[in-house]
A and B are shown apart, each in its own frame.
Chain A
Amino acid sequence: MSTSQAIFAGWMEIPNSAVNQDARSQTEQTAAEEATLVALVSQYAGTLYRVAFSVLRNPADAEDAVQEAFLRVLRHRDTLDEVRDRRVWLIRIVWNIVLDRKRRAKTRPETDDVSELARVLPHSGLSAEEIASAAQHHAHVLACVDRLPVKEREVLMLSAFEELSSVEIAVVLDISESSVRSRLFRARNLMAGLLNHERK
């Protein structure tokens, strides 16, 4: 440190030890944040992938969405300590990302989704006929889900995740728990009506 710097540092009452201590604590904090981030990835990457896949129905897109979600977490890692329920917080992030992507890719034909789904769904132990029948059924159900109103569709899709309670669904969608229940009730009725109608 030059003489003038030393004078300035003395005048500003910033001793070198304090500066070094600040740098050290900052390094420690960064390391702790990185460790937290690694733990979050290993703990919740699978859950986030499933949430993303349930909307996008494409493995590559779902993986991209998960990566984008964790990049957003990296950018806002300073606020990680303020988050109460990190799992719900992460699901909310990835939910917003996939909805945005879905909105942008609305022009894409949905037949791609169905064929992709038939390829991805587990079918070991089933005969070829059963696989074809199951894929047809899934495609039919997903087509009915797509015809639901947006609010009901979102609640129905999130309710399929057994790890999410109605309270957590309400937090993800930023609505009340009673709204979740009423929307889920309407969605089930609509789905039953659509599937029966199609069957008849």
Chain B
Amino acid sequence: MSPSEHKTMVNLAARRGDRDTGEDTLRLIAQLPAPRGLEDRVQAELRAAPRRARVLSWPAALRSDSPWMRSAAAAAIVFVVAGGGWGVYSRVQPPQPARVIVMPPRVAAPGSFSSAAAIRTPNTLDGPVVAIPATKKPAEVRGPDKLPALAVQKASRRLQAGATKETAIQAQAQPAAK
């Protein structure tokens, strides 16, 4: 900006009427030239600055460019992956069967209601059995005609056992006499 332009701007700003917003001053500041040698100083500052932002400066042998480091990194990755896989494999246990109580199916009696929404109730025990006492039968009365037959049988057995004829005759005679 030439001095004449600046003078005009300052005068305009100073003598402006109602609508002075002060932007002329701000424009004047915005058009200020940069100081001499600014670029050189910035370039020098940039040249002096570290090339890479690092927390630690690694030695050349340990940088990622060297094949040793690449090999070591690959080996470390393989080791970590394999170790992790083995760790998972060794910790996994075979699945155990689920513990389920198997209930016997309830068989509905034929002709009964269905078992829908029924609550299972345990079977009741058999109740006490009432024993009926046995009554004594009256003794049979033998008839008079059966006695001689028994006697005859006994006598025949005696005869067979060597009894005398007489006793046998007496025996036949006695019922006749009676």
Contacts and interface: CB of A to CB of B under 8 A. Distances in A.
Interface residues on chain A, size class: 35 or more
B10 interface: yes
A5 B38 contact: no
Most chain B CB within a 10 A radius of its CB, from A63, A122, A142, A161: A122
A54 B38 contact: no
Chain A contact surface mostly: helix
A155 to B, nearest CB: 11
Given A5-B68, A8-B67, A125-B4, A71 B23 contact: no
Contacts of A138: 25, 28
Contact of A49 (B4, B21, B35): B35
A50 B31 contact: yes
B60 to A, nearest CB: 12
Nearest to A126: B7
B71 A12 contact: yes
Contacts of A53: 29, 32
A70 B67 contact: no
Interface string B38-50: 1101110110010
Given A1-B67, A134-B10, A191 B45 contact: no
A19 B13 CA distance: 66
Contacts of B1: 122
Contacts of B41: 63, 67
Interface residues on chain B, size class: 35 or more
A96 interface: no
B163 to A, nearest CB: 131
A156 B26 CA distance: 8
A59 B35 contact: yes
A67 B45 contact: yes
Contacts, number: 138
B46 A54 contact: no
Interface in A97-138: 117, 120-126, 130, 133-134, 137-138
A167 interface: no
Nearest to A48: B34
B67 A162 contact: no
A141 B39 contact: no
B30 A162 contact: yes
B62 to A, nearest CB: 14
A23 B66 CA distance: 10
A45 B34 contact: yes
B22 interface: yes
Given A46-B38, A196-B18, A162 B27 contact: yes
12 contacts: A5-B68, A8-B68, A9-B71, A19-B67, A23-B65, A46-B34, A50-B30, A74-B49, A122-B32, A125-B4, A126-B10, A191-B20
